[in-house]
Every structure is written in C-alpha cells, then in structure tokens.
C-alpha cells in the first residue's frame, strides 16, 4: 500500500516539476519583454505566467509542503505582473504590488515556521 502511494506521489511530483519548468520559461519571457520595454509581449505573457502559477498551486493544494511555496510564488508573480503593468501604463502600482509581495512573504514565513510539522504530514 505504501508503495502505491509513493508511486502516485512520484508521478504527481514529476508532473509538477515539468509544470514548474514551463512556468519559469514563461516568467523569464515576461520579464524579458519588460526589460526590453516590449509592452505587447509583456502584457500577453502575464496571462499564461499567472495561470501556470495558479495551476501549479492548485495541483499541489493537498500537500501543504508543496502548496505553500507555490502559493507564495503566485503572490510574487502577481506582484511582479502588477509592477510591470504599472510601469508600462504609468499608474501608481506600489501599494498593490507591495501587498502581494508582503502576502507572499507571510505565506513563506508560515511555511518555514511550520516546516517540521508539514514535513511530518506527508
């Protein structure tokens, strides 16, 4: 029985790792568009980048030691996207971006403060 659960967890983790790699590529393309002041590309890349972050968090929602870091990444990618859009379209984005950055810090602080307990839950 334990082997069965370990095999399922391994398959799920392998799929998640592949999704995380795709997410990194999307994030780098979005940030490259930002760096090069390519507004159209940057705005377009926000959608798949944020979607992939949410997808990864959703897929890991049942395993807290995977979910919490992915939730923090969702917050940070949202902050990053707001910051980019604020610079592209000249709106005051700082409080919105800071809110998501801070929320991501709170989530990751909670994760590390309860890491041992979460590790034992797996």
Q: Is the whole-model pTM more than 0.95?
A: no
Q: Which long-range contacts (CB under 8 A, 24 or more apart) does 43-47 make?
A: 43/85, 43/88, 46/81, 46/84, 46/85
- Check whether 1 has a pLDDT greater than 50: no
Strands (E) in 1-122, as ranges, are none
Chain-wide mean pLDDT for the chain? 88
């Amino acid at each position: 029985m334990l082997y069965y659960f370990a095999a399922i967890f391994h398959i799920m983790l392998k799929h998640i790792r592949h999704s995380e790699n795709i997410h990194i590529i999307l994030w780098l393309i979005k940030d490259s568009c930002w760096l090069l002041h390519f507004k159209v590309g940057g705005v377009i890349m926000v959608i798949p980048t944020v979607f992939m972050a949410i997808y990864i968090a959703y897929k890991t929602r049942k395993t807290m030691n995977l979910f919490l870091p992915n939730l923090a990444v969702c917050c940070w990618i949202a902050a990053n996207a707001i910051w980019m859009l604020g610079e592209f379209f000249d709106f005051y984005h700082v409080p919105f971006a800071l809110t998501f950055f801070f929320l991501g810090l709170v989530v990751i602080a909670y994760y590390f403060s309860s890491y041992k307990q979460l590790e034992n839950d797996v």
